[in-house]
Amino acid sequence: MLPLTGYAERLSVRPGETLRFHVANATGDPVSAAVVRVICADPNPAIGGVTTDPMDITVRRVAEPAPQTVPLGSYAALGPAGLLADADRLSLGLRLQPTLALDRRQVILSCRDSDGRGLSLELTPTLTLLARMATTAGEVLLHAEQPVELHAWTEAVLVVDGQAREARLTVRPLASARAEFTVARAPLPGAPVPADGATRLSLASASAHAPRDSFNGRLENPWLLAKALSPEAALAPNPVRDPDCLAAWDFSQAMHSQQVIDAGPRGHHGELVNTPTRAVRGSAWSGEEHCFRHAPAQYAAIHFHDDDLDDCCWPVTHEIRIPEDCRSDAYALVLSAGSVAENIPFFVVPPRGRATARIAVLVSTYTYTVYGNHARPEWMNDPAWRAAHVAQARDWRAYPYNPGEHRDYGLSTYNYHTDGSGIGLVSWRRPMLNLRMGYFTYPYPEIRASGLRHYPADSHLLMWMAHQGHAVDLITDAELQQEGLALLARYRVVVTGSHPEYHTTAMLDALQAYRDQGGRLVYLGGNGFYWKIALDPSREGVIEIRRGEGGIRAWAAEPGEYHNQFDGQYGGLWRRNGRPPQKLVGVGFTAQGNFVGSHYRIRPEARQDPRVSWILDGVSAQTVGGEGFSGHGAAGFELDRVDTRLGSPASAVVIASSEDHPPEAPWVLVPEEQLTHITTIPGKPHRELIHADMTYFDCPGGGEVFSVGSITFCGALPVNGFDNDISRILDNVIRRFSR
């Protein structure tokens, strides 16, 4: 755990509103806090390092920050307290699919109190099932003989028969063609002793109040009967119709929510904690249906992980009220305790219902959150890379902490859970170490390159706007999602940052409507508008991604699990949802390499074309962008190109295309463009498709679009004190579009 860290309750705030912060302090020293305006988040000494302006905004301390823990692990709390108060005759069943063996117990189900009364069902380190029961004569342990298989479904039924003084654990592997089962029996030397009346039943945790001894895997439709079933009857129950039914939880219902529905007569519903994954294949999945909405009974499972996290749940320690006249910009709460410092960025957006500038910069806060705490594979697997990163952070006085080293705050959707499944659900209610001033992603031996992505990289654009004298409003993904076209319509031009990758349907609809109704859209990134996401319908800041069927992916969703649990829609690439990026901004993702850049070569015909020649005013060179603080060049890392087959307008003009990308990167074509190792869907050789296209087009409704097709473009803006051809090109566009 970090000695001092925290998070804001949300990433954007309006003038007149209050923003609250949750800070954890383990230094033993008092914490001081102040608000600054962020001028530059790049720690590179060649650019001047991190630069801020102090703000006259009072920080109110609500509570003294104290050490905190992070409640990692998802679980369910079921029914009311005291549900198993009468445990003399009881049958309890469920289906499980464990996904990870650990050297500790993993609690599948528990109704045990702090004094050890009650019962539990556990998975042991040897993958056998173990039931624990308290009796008046002491604890009884009931072991299943055969271990269960990882990634295979098993049915388990625990029967407690106080009258016969016997407990039975029946286990059946569902892959068995003959439905063979085993029964473990143990005498009960005394009467069963239930947990105290305040204890609730928990799934995937030893406690219904906090994740403890968390289970990794899928659980399906637990049920509870107030009678002792025979081994044969236990494997063919109909709990909902049984007159002795205490509860029968149906995980196929309300999959968009954190509710657990009891389909039995008593309505003993429950709730989920830390957002485990729903809409996943259950034991009945046949492979014939790939949408959970069409066959919910085949998706009656929940996947729990011991590292799930949707909210650190730390107390509020500080709050600020944004002044009514506060300028829309990037800000941060700066904390210090003794020799330790921390910063928590946030964005002030304009007052609701009005704009304070003609230009809006759309801040990709959903993309920031999706990447939040990305532990890069190089950090984990390459000691030399890690050592170079640590040394450079020290030399630059950069942000010193890396998610690869501090995995306590939940990782990103570019990482895996401990059981090897991809992380698909994230939240901003936690410290995100890569959303910090001074954080850099890639180490470089040359001081000229900064190796920035996301929030720090986008500060290059905001620096440039300020230097050029362009007044801007910052708006974030959250406002775009909530207000749509009404928000964008207030601006003459909307400008993206370096990597606007993740969007909802509502966000794309708003951007397209803005463009088609006369708005000017400037896309200054690469690999943008690529993945479709879903938002939790009841909680702000919880985001879902399903990485299905194609795309450059950190992990691949399982077959049959391509539909979002939050909205039921097909997830994955926007391209596979009929909305390739080319349809919106004229270019779309084509290739990825290491974090290195090159230049653009201006097409001679562009200088003669009156539609775009004005963009090149003041630019005489044939190549532009050969230097940059990101990847040493304006065209690098992830590249987008024109493709009329995918929706680029036939009228789109390619002003310049990148070239001479270093072959040692190495560069790869995106999977969705490849057919074989030598053939591609466009029919061109792989190498010909590896370039960025700087593009312009206009729309019938009067809208205009300028796209650069490269993640590293904005890193070239500050070169030579902003006096360079990339800066001139963008300035020509912004001045024309914002008139």
Give the mean model confidence (pLDDT) for residues 682-688. 90
Q: What is the rounded CA–CA span in Å between residue 200 and residue 577?
A: 43
Tokens of 449: 């390159």
- pLDDT for 453: 95
> Cis bond leading into 666, ω under 30°?
yes
Q: Within 10 A of 720 (CB to CB), how many other CB atoms are there?
A: 10
- pLDDT for 179: 62
| pLDDT at position 175 over 90 | no
| H/E run at residue 61 | strand 59-61
Please, are residues 726 and 607 in contact by the beta-carbon 8 Å criterion? no
Please, are residues 471 and 495 in contact by the beta-carbon 8 Å criterion? no
Q: What is the rounded CA–CA span in Å between residue 649 and residue 516?
A: 13
**Close Cβ partners of 416 (under 8 Å, ≥ 6 residues apart):** 422, 423, 555
Give the mean model confidence (pLDDT) for residues 7-19. 98
Give the mean model confidence (pLDDT) for residues 21-39. 98
Q: What is the rounded CA–CA span in Å between residue 259 and residue 270?
A: 6
- pLDDT for 447: 64
The 10s digit of each residue's pLDDT in 77-104 is 999 999 988 768 999 999 999 999 999 9
Give the mean model confidence (pLDDT) for residues 43-51. 95
Name the band, by pLDDT with cuts 50, 70 and 90, for residue 524: very high
Please, are residues 123 and 148 in contact by the beta-carbon 8 Å criterion? yes
The 10s digit of each residue's pLDDT in 594-627 is 999 999 999 999 999 999 999 999 999 999 999 9
- pLDDT for 439: 97
For residue 145, CA distances in Å to 124, 156, 183, 591 come to: 12, 13, 9, 53
| pLDDT at position 176 over 70 | no
| pLDDT at position 178 over 60 | no
Tokens of 102: 């650990």
- pLDDT for 232: 82
Q: Within 10 A of 473 (CB to CB), how many other CB atoms are there?
A: 24
Return the percentage of the chain with pLDDT > 90, whole number.
93
Each domain of the chain, given as residue ranges in start order, spans 4-70+312-346, 75-304, 349-371+453-737
Please, are residues 626 and 633 in contact by the beta-carbon 8 Å criterion? yes
Topology of the domain covering 75-304: Jelly Rolls (2.60.120)
| H/E run at residue 532 | strand 531-535
Tokens of 154: 């098993």
For residue 344, CA distances in Å to 291, 560, 700 come to: 40, 39, 43
Q: Name which of 60-64, 193-197, 499-503 the model is least confident about.
A: 193-197
Identify which of 53, 50, 122, 730 has the alpha carbon closest to the alpha carbon of residue 436.
Answer: 50
State the amino acid at position 590 in one-letter form: T
Q: Name which of 39-53, 214-228, 362-376, 432-446 the model is least confident about.
A: 432-446
Q: Do domains 75-304 and 349-371+453-737 have the same CATH topology?
A: no
Q: What is the rounded CA–CA span in Å between residue 531 and residue 548?
A: 10
Tokens of 423: 């992380």
The size of the chain, in residues, is 739
The 10s digit of each residue's pLDDT in 485-512 is 999 999 999 999 999 999 999 999 999 9
| pLDDT at position 302 over 90 | yes
Give the mean model confidence (pLDDT) for residues 260-265. 97
| pLDDT at position 387 over 80 | yes
Residues 489, 491, 494, 497, Cα dihedral to 10°: -120
For residue 694, CA distances in Å to 60, 631, 707 come to: 47, 18, 6
Q: What is the rounded CA–CA span in Å between residue 556 and residue 558?
A: 6
- pLDDT for 236: 78
| pLDDT at position 177 over 80 | no
Q: Domain 349-371+453-737 classified CATH 3.30.110.60?
A: no
Please, are residues 637 and 712 in contact by the beta-carbon 8 Å criterion? yes
Q: What is the mean pLDDT of the chain?
A: 96
Greatest Cα pair distance, the chain, in angstroms, is 95
Residue 169, helix vs strand vs coil = strand
Residue 159, helix vs strand vs coil = strand
Give the mean model confidence (pLDDT) for residues 398-406. 96
- pLDDT for 266: 95
Q: Name which of 237-246, 370-379, 413-422 the model is least confident about.
A: 237-246
Domain 4-70+312-346 maps to which CATH number in 3.30.1330, 2.60.40, 1.10.10, 3.40.50? 2.60.40
Identify which of 323, 318, 350 has the alpha carbon closest to the alpha carbon of residue 336.
Answer: 318
For residue 508, CA distances in Å to 484, 511, 576, 661 come to: 9, 5, 15, 31
